[in-house]
């Protein structure tokens, strides 16, 4: 068995899978909103309330892990723990109280894991449409990762050309722009635009888009929520969303619909869950900024990410270990419980 734990700024996620002759099987899948980074933008530290919420979720994870006695685990923390001055103290407390050893990963490793988690989509002929590059973005709670990837369809490999991590996510953006007016929404879009323009100047991705060589992949709760609204799902269904190919005009139309619903107070409860707007609108602003800079005509929606990337890396390392090929240093990911 293989287990991956992703402690983000907004969510705590655990995935446990088994690997055997019949392939990969999901044994356990846990996701809880913990808002670990709440208040971090102003204070620079993880609050006691946020740490308690997170510890509650991590105790649940530890209990689920304990039920599976023999497997390999890798646990990571991202932007909130990268930024908070008391993160190391908190993670020591986590280890003492739960036994979980959580590693703070770099923005580049976070982007690499997101790409690895979506590799199946990068090599799917119907989704890739003969394009040679992929632009992948992952809107998180505390940061947004953007990965520019070259695809090798023959060897079914991908190469990370470049990546950037902007310290803007749905929680941090909401805390920076507290007055959620329509003007503030467009100020959020402009703010994100200024953060990502430098990446475009370096890599000239728009030129590749004009040559129709770019696949667009969206990884985040924002994109999956928008896709679910577009499909008018009464209840979220991952199987219908993960790997869904949409025209980006459909996504932008849904964003406009949400803006009208919010600011003109014409509530359409069939498609817009009002309780989610608190963090959905900042995510929409990040998406709008990304698509303004890189106007790809269609988008692959991915309900997967870091956990899936960790599992993919672990499986690859295990395969290399068993065949005697040391393409990947397995001990980097194989951390025994």
CATH code, domain carrying 327: 3.30.420.40
**Do 189 and 251 fall into the same domain?**
yes
**Do 44 and 180 fall into the same domain?**
no
**Do 98 and 149 fall into the same domain?**
no
pLDDT confidence band for 326 (50 / 70 / 90)? very low
* Residues in CB range of 241: below 8 A, 6 or more apart: 224, 227, 228, 231, 301, 303
Backbone angles phi, psi at 168, to 5 degrees: -135, 120
Residue 113 forms part of a structural domain: no
Q: Residue 44 pLDDT more than 70? A: yes
Tokens 């849904």 correspond to 254
User: Which pLDDT does position 335 carry in this prediction?
Assistant: 40
Residue 141 forms part of a structural domain: yes
Residue 112 forms part of a structural domain: no
Residue 111 forms part of a structural domain: no
**In angstroms, rounded to a whole number, what is the distance separating the alpha carbons of residues 137 and 334?**
27
Q: Residue 330 pLDDT more than 60? A: no
Residue 251 forms part of a structural domain: yes
Give the CATH number for residue 142: 3.30.420.150
- Closest by alpha carbon to 40, among 148, 197, 173, 214? 173
pLDDT confidence band for 70 (50 / 70 / 90)? low
**Do 231 and 161 fall into the same domain?**
yes
Q: Residue 276 pLDDT more than 90? A: no
pLDDT confidence band for 278 (50 / 70 / 90)? confident
Residue 146 forms part of a structural domain: yes
User: Which pLDDT does position 336 carry in this prediction?
Assistant: 37
Structural domain boundaries, residue 30 = 2-106+306-336
**Do 271 and 296 fall into the same domain?**
yes
pLDDT confidence band for 328 (50 / 70 / 90)? very low
**Do 253 and 127 fall into the same domain?**
yes
Q: Which residues pair with 23 in a beta bridge?
A: 20
Helix%, strand%, coil% for the chain, nearest 5: 50, 25, 30
For residues 261-272, give the mean pLDDT. 62
**Do 296 and 152 fall into the same domain?**
yes
User: Which pLDDT does position 21 carry in this prediction?
Assistant: 82
**Do 127 and 252 fall into the same domain?**
yes
Q: Residue 158 pLDDT more than 70? A: yes
Residue 162 forms part of a structural domain: yes
Question: What is the length of the chain?
Answer: 337
**Do 288 and 140 fall into the same domain?**
yes
**Do 212 and 86 fall into the same domain?**
no
Q: What is the pLDDT of residues 182-232, one digit of tens each?
A: 999 999 999 999 999 999 999 999 999 999 999 999 998 999 999 999 999
pLDDT confidence band for 63 (50 / 70 / 90)? very high
* Residues in CB range of 242: below 8 A, 6 or more apart: 301, 302, 303, 304
Residue 157 forms part of a structural domain: yes
Grouping H, G, I as helix, E, B as strand and the rest as coil, residue 197 is helix
Q: Residue 324 pLDDT more than 80? A: no
**Do 175 and 237 fall into the same domain?**
yes
**Do 200 and 288 fall into the same domain?**
yes
**In angstroms, rounded to a whole number, what is the distance separating the alpha carbons of residues 15 and 27?**
8
Q: What is the pLDDT of residues 97-111, one digit of tens each?
A: 999 999 999 999 999
**The total number of structural domains that make up the chain:** 2
């Amino acid at each position: 068995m293989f287990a991956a734990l992703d402690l983000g700024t907004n969510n705590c996620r655990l995935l446990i899978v088994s690997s055997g002759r019949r392939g990969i099987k999901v044994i356990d899948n846990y996701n809880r909103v913990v808002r670990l980074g709440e208040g971090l933008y102003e204070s620079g530290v993880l609050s006691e309330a946020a740490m308690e919420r997170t510890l509650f979720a991590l105790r649940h994870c530890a209990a689920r892990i304990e039920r599976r006695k023999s497997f390999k685990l890798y646990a990571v923390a991202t932007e909130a723990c990268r930024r908070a001055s008391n993160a190391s103290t908190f993670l020591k407390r986590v280890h003492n109280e739960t036994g979980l050893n959580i590693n703070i990963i770099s923005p580049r490793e976070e982007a690499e894991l997101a790409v690895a988690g979506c590799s199946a989509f990068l090599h799917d002929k119907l989704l890739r449409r003969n394009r040679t590059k992929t632009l992948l973005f992952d809107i998180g709670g505390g940061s947004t990762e953007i990965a520019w990837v070259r695809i090798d369809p023959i060897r079914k490999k991908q190469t990370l050309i470049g990546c950037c991590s902007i310290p803007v996510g749905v929680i941090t953006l909401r805390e920076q722009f507290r007055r959620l007016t329509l003007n503030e929404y467009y100020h959020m879009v402009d703010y994100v635009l200024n953060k990502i323009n430098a990446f475009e100047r370096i890599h000239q991705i728009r030129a590749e888009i004009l040559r129709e060589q770019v696949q667009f992949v969206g990884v985040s709760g924002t994109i999956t929520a928008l896709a679910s609204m577009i499909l008018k799902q009464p209840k979220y269904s991952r199987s219908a969303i993960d790997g869904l190919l949409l025209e980006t005009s459909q996504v932008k139309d849904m964003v406009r619909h949400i803006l009208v619903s919010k600011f003109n107070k014409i509530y359409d409860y069939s498609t817009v869950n009002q309780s989610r707007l608190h963090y959905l609108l900042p995510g929409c602003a990040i998406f709008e900024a990304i698509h303004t800079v890189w106007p790809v005509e269609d988008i692959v929606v991915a309900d997967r990410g870091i956990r899936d990337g960790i599992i993919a890396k672990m499986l690859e390392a295990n395969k290399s270990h068993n065949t005697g090929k040391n393409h990947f240093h397995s001990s980097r990911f194989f951390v025994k419980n």
